[in-house]
Amino acid sequence: MNQPFFPGRLGLQQRVLPAYRVPFFDALAASCADGLSIFAGLARPSESILPAAGLQTAGYVPARNLHLFTGPLYLCYQRGLIDWLEAWQPEALIVEANPRYLATPAAVGWMHQRGRPVVGWGLGAPPLSGPLAGLRGERRASFLGQFDALICYSRRGAGEYAATGFPNDKIFVAPNAVAPRPVDPPPERPPDFSGRPTVLFVGRLQARKRLDFLLRACADLPAALQPRLLIVGDGPVRGELEALAAEVYPSAAFAGARQGDALKPYFMAADLFVLPGTGGLAVQEAMTYGLPAIVAQGDGTQDDLVRPENGWQVPPDDYPALVGSLRTALSDVKRLRQMGKASFQIVAQEVNLNRMVDVFVGALNSLKN
């Protein structure tokens, strides 16, 4: 199958350049005839985002991020954005479709003055509520309307963008991925658990990940179903979680942060992958190892990934639902193995880094004059 190719020079703006995006950006750069340059700055220290150590194929120009306010009032201004555009002269530009980034309209204007397209990349546009919802909706529609196309992570996000009035034929869905299309067959796991099943979590240890729920849920399972729980990652609440584990589930193991190939033994050892809170891209990588998954419903990025045939989506902060899904999953090993095979097929055929690159290049090529 021929890989789509963008015949030009591409620019891509990001607020920050996280380490997990490096494989995607390098793959996208390899699909650009005249290269890819990324303009991105640093996160606030409190965000605990691991920055990229380096790019192999894509270029990188550091932005000078000015962070303003916090919480729902947060804004970011990136100094040097126009200087980068002047120096790189991209024939197309991809920017984060986030109205909180104050320099974006100037960059869009710079590109459009030269007859060059700009693609917005974002999660979607969830319905608004409250007394100012109408005004906020108009402002959001105006912000999105400046883009020539939009790329989002999920079909839900695409529907939200369309609901703002953005043209359907200019909306593209690139399911979020961090791992490439698998080239090897899925691991062959035994027909039984050979003892206790193994449940795996991989991600930042933050309060919103609800690992407190996962620890308590494992403890509330029948003794015969209580799993070996592996928690891979580090973060601001690790100490609190280790203290909680000592109290309610002492058999939980904290492996610390792992990256790249160092994660493979944990994925291979697991029977089930669980993300009990919001966020987290590791589920797609877990599925490349043939693992079924339990995930909390969130912004829609998991909707196209975890389906009834390969896992369970539970309402966020719904503790009984998490316990029930764990009980169901670990009670039928034969079904669990079948669901793991379904996970592998989904990432092999639909949701992988290669497919994500294809959608981005297709969106760019659709805008050729």
Mean pLDDT confidence for 160-175: 96
- Whether the pLDDT of residue 368 is over 90: the answer is no
In a shared domain, residues 19 and 144: yes
Same domain, 282 and 239: yes
pLDDT tens column, 16-37:
999 989 999 999 999 999 999 9
Query: Which pair of tokens denotes residue 84?
Result: 């980068």
DSSP state of 180: P
The mean-pLDDT minimum among 143-157, 208-222, 275-289, 343-357 falls in 275-289
pLDDT at position 105 is: 97
- Residue from 340, 360, 352 nearest 121 by CA: 360
- d(CA 197, CA 227) in angstroms, rounded, equals 5
Query: Per the structure block, which two tokens stand in for 33?
Result: 């005839």
Q: Where are the extended beta strands (E) located within the chain?
A: 10-16, 36-41, 59-62, 64-68, 75-79, 92-96, 118-122, 149-152, 171-173, 198-202, 228-232, 253-256, 272-275, 293-296, 311-314
Residue 19 lies in a domain: yes
Instruction: Tell which wins on pLDDT, 128 or 280.
Output: 128
Q: What is the mean pLDDT of residues 9-21?
A: 96
| Overall average pLDDT of the 279-283 stretch | 82
The confidence score (pLDDT) of residue 67 equals 97
50 exposure class (CB count in 10 Å sphere: 0-12, 13-18, 19+) = middle
Q: What is the pLDDT of residue 369?
A: 63
Q: Which structure tokens are listed for 193?
A: 């658990």
Quote the tokens at residue 207: 């309060």
pLDDT at 304 (0 to 100):
83
- Do 227 and 156 fall into the same domain? no
Q: Which domain holds residue 144?
A: 10-177+352-365
Q: Is 165 in the same domain as 209? A: no
Confidence check: pLDDT of 242 > 60: yes
The answer, yes or no, to whether residue 2 has pLDDT greater than 80, is: no
- Residue 120 resides in a domain: yes
| In-domain check, residue 193 | no
Q: Is there a single domain that holds both residue 119 and residue 39? A: yes
**Token pair 């979680």 in the structure block, residue:** 241
Answer yes or no: are the C-beta atoms of 120 and 148 closer than 8 Å.
no
Distances (CA, A) of 16 to 48, 282, 342: 12, 19, 34
User: Would you say residue 1 has pLDDT above 60?
Assistant: no
In contact, 294 and 214? CB cutoff 8 Å = no
pLDDT at 299: 67
How much is the pLDDT for 316? Answer: 87
Say yes or no to pLDDT of 206 above 70. yes
In this prediction, residue 152 carries a pLDDT of 96
Residues 230, 199 contacting (CB under 8 angstroms): yes
List the CATH number of the domain containing 344: 3.40.50.2000
Tokens at 45, concatenated? 């220290």
H runs (alpha helix) in 229-352: 238-248, 264-269, 282-288, 319-331, 333-349
Tokens of 35: 């290269």
Region 183-188 average pLDDT: 91
Same domain assignment for residues 173 and 317: no
Mean model confidence pLDDT for the chain: 94
- In a shared domain, residues 342 and 205: yes
230 φψ region: left (φ > 0), alpha (ψ -120 to 50), beta (else): beta
Of 5, 330, 195, the closest CA to residue 311 belongs to: 330
Same domain for 339 and 300: yes
Note the pLDDT of residue 280: 72
- Residues 338, 213, single domain; the answer is yes
